[in-house]
Structure 1
Amino acid sequence: MTLTLNAVDATGMIISNNQDFSGAEWESYTALKENWWLTSGDGTKTVYFKAKDNAVPYPNIALPVNDTIILDTTPPTITIVTPENGSSTTTHTNLTIRANLYDATSGVNTSSVTIIFNGTDKTMDNNTIINPNLVMYQAPSLTDGTYNVSIIVKDMAGNIAYKNWSFTVTTEEEETGEETEGGTTGQPTTQPVVDNPPVISNVQHSPTTVTDADMVTITATVTDDNAIKTVTLFWNNSMDSKEMSKQTGDVYSATIGPFPGGTKVTYYIMATDSSSQTTTSSTYSFTVQGQTTPSPPSEEEKPVTINLTIDIIAVGEIKNISLKEYETALEEIKIIAADNLTDVKVNIEKLTEKPADVAKPSEKVYAYISIETNAEQEDISSIIVSFKVEKTWIEENNIDKETIILLRYHNNEWQKLSTAIKNESVEYVYYEAEVPGLSMFAIVGSTLTTQPPLEPLTTVYFTQPLIIYVIIIGAVAVSLTVVFLLYYRKHS
């Protein structure tokens, strides 16, 4: 196949069917890449592309992009034809001719379906139904004879399939007469064979009140005086159909949905017996009640995986890996190389919860993040991780923003890393931490501490006798002081 590429100022490119570009090599940039081979087998295929310029000494390499297509080389299948090939039927009116359609990869292209009955194109006939699951034509009136059916169908990739078969319409007769000792005497008489079409009754849907979150089960009782061959549920103006499966007794059921709120779903049932006689039920409907809009998952509830490849990091170079476009708490990773590094892979995963074998930190956890690289630790002189924390999380959990740090899980324990606030915005507080190596990390914070209430002041009340004693002791002390001073002057 041919790839159409677009990169501004690109001089080199690398293309791969693998996300990690394993086995791929850089080549000169061109807007068209011809004769590109996808991986073998039908299904969804993804091609990955990176481009670089010729900046000196180290080229700038754009983040990888990718595109996805569906490879389909297998034609659709046409199965379960009615009436069966080579069979006979006594049904002359409203005979159903049908076949089931199926394509597992790209799906049936309904606009390509053609049904030819006995040399006449019946595709656009009012008695023909075509949808992605079946093609069916109901012949109003047939005479005895052999009839040929041809069906042509393509899938969305253009693969084509054919199905041709034939059947016979006959009038069965029974000979009756009086039986004598020598055998049967009398004139034979023609007796019609009794074979009524199916009867459809007791059509219901469950639940009775349908919401946009409900799967809806349609049930019906289908009986026939011989045998039921198929029971089919049709909805969406016959554009969708599904075979109903037999439950207990004569009850058949099929489950469909869910449907968007406010949708009116109309449906009917068609039953065919072993003689290819068909009965179509009345049309029923239900309206899906009030559309509910689920809350989008919060950032920490959505796992995110980022796989990056850095072609060259020169010794002493600071390589800035911006992560702002990804839905993680990380803003940037700076890697300073201690040696020349090539083909450096950095794998980042934001986890919805910690691994089962990892202990839970004692602090309140904002996010768990795994950062790994194929570079040896001794080849990296420094790694700086920048991250952000929502202010709403800080406020709702009563977190002291000064206590928010980055933890590293190493040697079966959480290690606290030196973390500093860089700046703030209306929505976030931004932090930076230097890490000794890559591993499992957790962004955590501690709750605000409140000062304990001051002890109430204690008032000491002196009783009257205690006051008297204090006065007496004071008077004695003053008297002794006076005596001492007089004695000192007399002898000086």
Structure 2
Amino acid sequence: MRTKPILLLALVVVITLSCAHVCVAQPPSIPHAFYGGLNVYGPEHPSAIEVPRGTIVQAIVNEDVCGSITTTEAGKYGGPEALDPKLVVQGDIGDGTTIYFYVNGVKADQTWQFTSGDVTELNLTVNDVVAPTITNLMPANGSTVSTGTPAIGADYSDVLSGIDVASVTIRLGGSDVTDDATVTASGVSYVPTVALADGSYTVEVSVQDRVGNPATETWSFTVLVPPAPPAPATLTVDTTPVKASVYVDGSLWGTAPQTRELDAGTYTVSFGDVLGYLTPASESVTLAENETRTITGVYTEISPEIIENVSPTYEIPSITPEENATADVENTAITELTICVKNAVENVRVTVQQLTERPAGIEIAAPGISYKYLNIVAQNITDADIDVILINFSVERVWITAENIDPDTIALRKWVAGAWVSLPTAKVGEDDTYFYYFAESSGLSIFAVSGSVLAPAPAEFLLSDLVIEPMEVGPGENVEISVKVMNVGGTAGTCSVTLKINGTVVDTEDITLAVGATGTVTFEVTEEVAGTYAVGVDGSTGTFVVTAPPSMVVPLAVTGIVVVLLAGILIWLRKRRKEGEEEEEDST
């Protein structure tokens, strides 16, 4: 080290102006300037090495910063020449006061005593025991990234000796990827060349400073790559032989043909009405990714020969969920339509065609006896818009009578997906000319008004002409009881005829008769006890009598003769017995 006085005031001024931090001095003493070598040593480098440029050297006196300089060259601070920058220590400092030196905040090994006006060459050395700092982890610890090729790495720095770039390593999932990483003095970055699969990954970055102080940072992140958006499908909707409006999920695409790209999924394709044609049924279509599909709605022309009447076209500017629309319909069996919607619609046009028979495109007739077929044609509205349609219609009384129709069976039926669906229908009135009805429908289509023939009356039987023969018999003799049965009902049937004697059922006979036919049921009974017997056959009543047999009277003379004969026989038997006993004794 070398000290020399500063004699020129100009030099003092220059040195004073170069001081970044000054102590409060009242009055200030003449500064003491320093310059010299700047080196650092550490665990792996006991021999000092140069401190990098940009290092800050500070002079501390009594815990105050009394001078500071930032190095412009590696391994030294300031210079010996008059115009070279110096570490200027100034303030209210007495000579002999100890000056402490700090390099980037780390205390140097050397100290010096302040001497006013001196310039001192002082080589500073620092024992570097501070490890590098690793910051700005990428991806952040515990984070989830949505790409398989994230930027992975970290920044690092060292307060004294600087980073040993050759010591930097980066490991991903236990594998060393340093050779594929970008390594600089301030950080390391790695981007996988092959996309990482979904899962959790651990990163480890290790670095040393130039004197061997190591630092390691370990952290983890998760890769969760969302599925790629599906490739769209292409749907074309067309109509033939006429071009009509087409709808997908209730949304108007326009007049056919129309082509759109859609996400994979299931969609409902429907078709607008065209006057004079049957509207194709809606179709459900399921589209896969990248699929191209064409749906064509085939309209069937209604033969003009079966169109009996056509109503005027009713134009409705708007219908909203809050405000329904009602049209009084002329020239058809439908007399009034009320349309209630879920979605607001505008410029709706409604026309009703009355047909004498089902159109050719309807495969089966409506159930029962059909009165009229009705085609309600609506434009700028679809079933997806409709909440409910209230339909009032009438049926001629003369037709009901001629066809023998039960008025209570009349119903409005709707053609849906190849079948007739009966709609909720109620009879609301009648007059000399018509029966009046009300029905509800969830949408528009071909409709039919039909009913069932009156059911015939059930079988009903009338019994008459009860005959009891003979009416007087002896015990054990047969009595024949018969009754005529007539079917006065509307269908053939079987009648069970029950015979009661004195209120007790004694027999039952079945007889089957066609409508209007008459038959006879006959019973035979026998009674052993004399008396009068009450006969009942399902409401018809009568009696017969069983008479007692005549009693027998024996003459007195005959009785006497019988008694004498019996007495004689008895005497003879006793005599024979006695003689037999005597003969037995003699023989003994």
Q: Would you say same fold, with TM above 0.5? A: no
Normalised by the shorter chain, which TM-score bucket? 0.3 to 0.5
The structure with more radius of gyration: 2
Query: RCO (CA 8 Å, sep 6+): is it higher in 1 or 2?
Result: 1
Question: TM-score, normalization: structure 1?
Answer: 0.32
Question: TM-score, normalization: structure 2?
Answer: 0.27
